[in-house]
């Protein structure tokens, strides 16, 4: 398997899942120029990361990749099996992270894509922060009294939450103020697989793993 990723992005979730699975894989880190190259766009028409190549399959879209990895690796224990109530929960939270939490960050990182007026960037970012707060609050409430996003063990939903919750540590209302999310992110940051991903990316966890 080969993962196309960029350090610190949402593709970090796939990298973590690959580490949890433990099968051989390669990671190619792309920058914002190579992401738009004709060769890469053949694999991922949106010109974004992640893309997973698994044999003859080239799969874009983080959520699709995570579900593929769960189903292809039933012994890895990274997500519940089809037909269980917990699997429905997995779908629910992957969709929420992919379709709501993640897009709420786009105006924060790329305000120029959301207004043609440069003087409007700060207002676009402020609106983004209100939406991020709404999504993180909802997830934080879900995590009250829970050890993980879905069921009783860690899953790809936690891996998917990891990069986005990590981005939030730099905001005016930082992820540390969402106590239940912060608890899960600290656990993940201390996970040897996650630490291996950070080392491969040359990035650091946004939380002090000794705390």
Ligand X SMILES: N[C@@H](CCC(=O)N[C@@H](CS)C(=O)NCC(=O)O)C(=O)O
Contact positions toward ligand X, by CB under 6 A? 9-10, 35, 48-50, 61-62, 98
Residues 6+ apart with CB under 8 A from 172: 129
Q: How remote is the C-alpha of 75 from its chain's centroid?
A: 22
Q: In 3D, which of 171, 176, 209, 211 has the Cα closest to residue 190? A: 209
Assigned token pair, 6: 């960029």
> In this complex, which beta carbon is closest to ligand X, that of residue 25 or of residue 75?
25
Residue 161 CB, nearest distance to ligand X (Å)? Answer: 13
> In this complex, which beta carbon is closest to ligand X, that of residue 113 or of residue 179?
113
> In this complex, which beta carbon is closest to ligand X, that of residue 46 or of residue 81?
46
Residue 106 CB, nearest distance to ligand X (Å)? Answer: 7
> In this complex, which beta carbon is closest to ligand X, that of residue 68 or of residue 183?
68
Written as one string, the DSSP assignment of 128-153 is HHHHHHHHHHHHHHHTTT-SSSSTTS
Assigned token pair, 173: 């209302």
Task: Report the residue closest to ligand X, judged by CB.
Answer: 48
Rg (CA), the chain: 17
Residue 75 CB, nearest distance to ligand X (Å)? Answer: 26
> In this complex, which beta carbon is closest to ligand X, that of residue 102 or of residue 154?
102
Q: Is 2 helix (H, G, I), strand (E, B) or coil?
A: strand
Q: Please state whether 8 falls in left (phi above 0), alpha (psi between -120 and 50) or beta.
A: left
Half-sphere exposure of 168 (CA within 13 A, CB side): 30
Are the C-beta atoms of residues 196 and 18 closer than 8 Å to each other? no
> In this complex, which beta carbon is closest to ligand X, that of residue 17 or of residue 48?
48
Residue 129 CB, nearest distance to ligand X (Å)? Answer: 17
H or E element: which one contains 95? helix 85-96
Residue 189 CB, nearest distance to ligand X (Å)? Answer: 19
Residue 182 CB, nearest distance to ligand X (Å)? Answer: 21
């Amino acid at each position: 398997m080969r993962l196309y990723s960029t350090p610190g992005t949402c593709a970090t979730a796939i990298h973590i899942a690959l580490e949890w699975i433990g099968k051989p894989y390669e990671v190619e880190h792309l920058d914002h120029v190579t992401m738009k190259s004709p060769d890469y766009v053949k694999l991922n028409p949106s010109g974004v990361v992640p893309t997973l190549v698994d044999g003859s399959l080239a799969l874009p879209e983080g959520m699709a990749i995570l579900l593929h990895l769960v189903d292809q690796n039933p012994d890895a224990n990274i997500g519940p099996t089809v037909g269980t109530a917990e699997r429905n929960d997995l779908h629910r939270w992957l969709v929420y992270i992919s379709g709501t939490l993640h897009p709420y960050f786009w105006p924060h990182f790329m305000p120029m894509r959301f207004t043609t007026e440069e003087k409007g960037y700060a207002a676009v970012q402020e609106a983004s922060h209100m939406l991020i707060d709404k999504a993180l609050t909802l997830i934080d409430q879900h995590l009250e009294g829970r050890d993980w996003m879905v069921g009783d063990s860690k899953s790809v939903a936690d891996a998917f939450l990891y990069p986005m919750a990590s981005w939030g540590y730099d905001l005016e209302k930082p992820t540390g103020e969402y106590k239940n999310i912060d608890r899960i992110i600290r656990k993940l940051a201390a996970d040897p697989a996650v630490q291996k991903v950070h080392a491969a990316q040359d990035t650091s966890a946004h939380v002090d793993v000794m705390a």
